Chain A
Amino acid sequence: MSALSRLRSWEGLLLVLLIVIVGLNVTKTPYYLGVGNLVNLFQLSIEKIIIALTMTLIIISGEIDLSVASVMCLATCVMARLFEAGVELPLALAAALASGALAGLINGACVAYLGLPSLAVTLAGLIGYRGVGRILVEDRAIGGYPAWFDALGQQPLVGPLTFSIVAFLVLFIVTAVVLNRSFVGRIVYSMGTNLEAARFSGVRVKWAKLLLFVFSGLNAAFAGLLYAARLGSVRGDMADGFELDIITMVLLGGVSIFGGSGNLAGVGLSILVILNLRNGMGLANITGNAQTSVIGALLILSVLVPNLARLIHNQWKGREA
């Protein structure tokens, strides 16, 4: 029983998993604990984990945003095209962020004010926003940005940490405070638990949904620009398929796909689990596809095992009674 109750606390299970993975990594490879590797571990997926923060809010509120990776692409393409046309880079960056917010606004307006299912709307966005990006850059790769922009993605800013990692840490703290310590968090949870009840208790549900999607778009654009800074070049197929990785991170963190439950601590732990698992497998010479398979299996097991445990537990109780 005590083991079962510990299993029921999702964060506890993730923590155990994390310790096991880190333990295995440390014993398997001597390079694992090096500062360079630890920074690298975050740096290689930094864009995804930044977006996972807003995705957590969206999924807790009972919606989903499949278009994030395409918004990343759209924003970088807007930036690249403007830069190519001779616009100053800071202005191009601002326009890129605005394009991300606009994409989010379109998603949000369709979901909140037209009452369309977010799965379908953002699926359209997934295809459409990348399409707009493709129109802008066609099949070229646009590079040659000023040195300070490239440095933004690569060079250490505080100690060994790059700007992207610092940005992630700041955003993580902000999201945690917003979700756990402010009325915004309570609104997000109440919308996910029971939308009608939230509406009747005076939450401006439509407005809140709109804002959530705008922030998701804005954040995706920001992450896209960091990605462009890290790669130093922009193409129409960048960040292809990232949405699935991001959603996996959030769901593995114990956030219910139906909304209303889950917390940022779980998502933080799940991010650490996934990054360490990938890093460890990478150091042990396991290829990217096998890594993706293992994470896919982990995602299914993360929901299946507690379900089965509950089922067996219930049957056990039924037999005793």
Chain B
Amino acid sequence: MTWLRRRIRPEQIRELILLLLIIVAVVSFGSLIDGYYSNRTFNRIASGVAIISVIAVGQTLVVLTRSIDLSVGSITGCTAFIVGLALAYHHDLSPLLAVAIAVTMGTAMGAVNGVIVAWGRVPPIIVTLGTLAIYRGILVESFGGYVITTDKLPDWLVNLPTLTLFTIGGLDIRAMVALAFTVVIVFHVATSYLNLGRQFYAIGSNPEAAELIGLPKQRIVFTVFLLSGALSGLAGFMFLGRFGNVTVQAGNGLELQSVAAVVVGAVNIFGGSGTVLGAMLGGVMIGTLDQSLLRLQISEFWRDAILGFLILLAVASDSIILRRLRMLWGAAELKLIARPVPPLTGQAEEAAVR
């Protein structure tokens, strides 16, 4: 039991519960919908989740440091539209350059947020609420009723959403899904093991303490908004690829969806705890419900009500179950410390030396 407790943190239990819930949801939808277990269902859910996951990764980083980024929807929309415009007029633009434009644009917009939050000392919710309106306003004002349609885009982009990299057990893994998953894994590993990643947690857990031990708080907060912007830019490119037809209202509401994914995915809204992988699971849960309820035709109107209830449930379980678990873990740790040291046997000695 001690061994288990040492290896598994309460937060991980929370993520395992979420994984279990996703499996329960999939199994119950499978029994309700004919032909649910198919490649088509998987692709539908996965390509929707891919975009929201990439944004949710950025949102996770921001939320981990006790901030919030409400401008991600506008950044995604802006990059999707501008990159679409660039591709519509320059068909010979290379794919890599298109992605680079998207990420650079997103980074620039994220940098504006970051500078104002970190050095202007304006609360993040105010800054990003403002830039949510500003970015969208500039886009709508500049391009108004213009619509980017699939026939204006180069073929490689139109074919991108159906581009299959490889197949596992009859399920096609699309290029965009693989890209999103790679982003999630890279950022999960980075936040778990890299110095910078751990600094995000430190700032979120206790900003004063983090500053006292000499962490550059302002630079870290700036970095977080920069990354969130860059990832939203990448998501903008994916958005363009997936839908093809893009209006100036593209990506509207993605900010709340990403916060929802993060909250359902066991990232504490007050910072300092949660993982990128958890946020992706949150996105998967929401995406699964979204797409599956669409298939159960009568329930289309129930989607939002169920989603709202799910978020509330996630937050409540976070606070109630997790608090108990943490206390249990903490109490057990105390007992371990208080216990008299047993005489060392051979094996334990080796472990102690290590």
A contacts, CB < 8 Å to B = 110, 114-117, 119-121, 123-132, 134-135, 138-139, 236, 244, 247-248, 251, 257-258, 287, 289-297, 299-300, 303-304, 307-308, 311
B contacts, CB < 8 Å to A = 68, 116, 120-123, 125-127, 129-134, 136-138, 140-141, 256, 259-260, 263, 269-270, 301-309, 311-312, 315-316, 319-320
Minimal beta-carbon separation of B284 from chain A (angstroms)? 17
B133 touches A244 (CB 8 A): yes
List 8 extra interface pairs beyond A257-B125, A292-B136, CB under 8 A: A110-B312, A117-B269, A126-B256, A127-B260, A131-B306, A287-B140, A292-B137, A297-B130
A123 touches B263 (CB 8 A): yes
**Which one of A124, A248, A251 contacts B312 once the chains associate, using CB atoms below 8 Å?**
A124
Minimal beta-carbon separation of B142 from chain A (angstroms)? 10
Q: DSSP majority for the A interface?
A: helix
A258 touches B123 (CB 8 A): yes
Tell me the bound Cα distance from A303 to B319 in angstroms: 32
A120 touches B263 (CB 8 A): yes
Minimal beta-carbon separation of A46 from chain B (angstroms)? 21
What are 13 contact pairs spanning A and B, CB under 8 A? A114-B320, A124-B311, A124-B315, A125-B312, A131-B308, A257-B123, A290-B141, A291-B137, A292-B133, A296-B131, A296-B134, A303-B120, A304-B120
Minimal beta-carbon separation of B297 from chain A (angstroms)? 12
Closest to A292 in B: B133
**In the assembled complex, which residues on chain B have CB atoms less than 8 Å from the CB atom of A123?**
256, 259-260, 263, 311
Minimal beta-carbon separation of A267 from chain B (angstroms)? 15
**In the assembled complex, which residues on chain A have CB atoms less than 8 Å from the CB atom of B316?**
110, 114, 116
Count the A-B residue pairs with Cβ separation under 8 angstroms: how many? 130
In the A-B complex, the 5 residue pairs with the smallest Cβ-Cβ separation, listed nearest first, are A128-B308, A293-B137, A131-B304, A131-B305, A296-B133
Tell me the bound Cα distance from A131 to B303 in angstroms: 7
Tell me the bound Cα distance from A131 to B300 in angstroms: 10
A300 touches B319 (CB 8 A): no
Tell me the bound Cα distance from A131 to B304 in angstroms: 4
Tell me the bound Cα distance from A303 to B126 in angstroms: 8
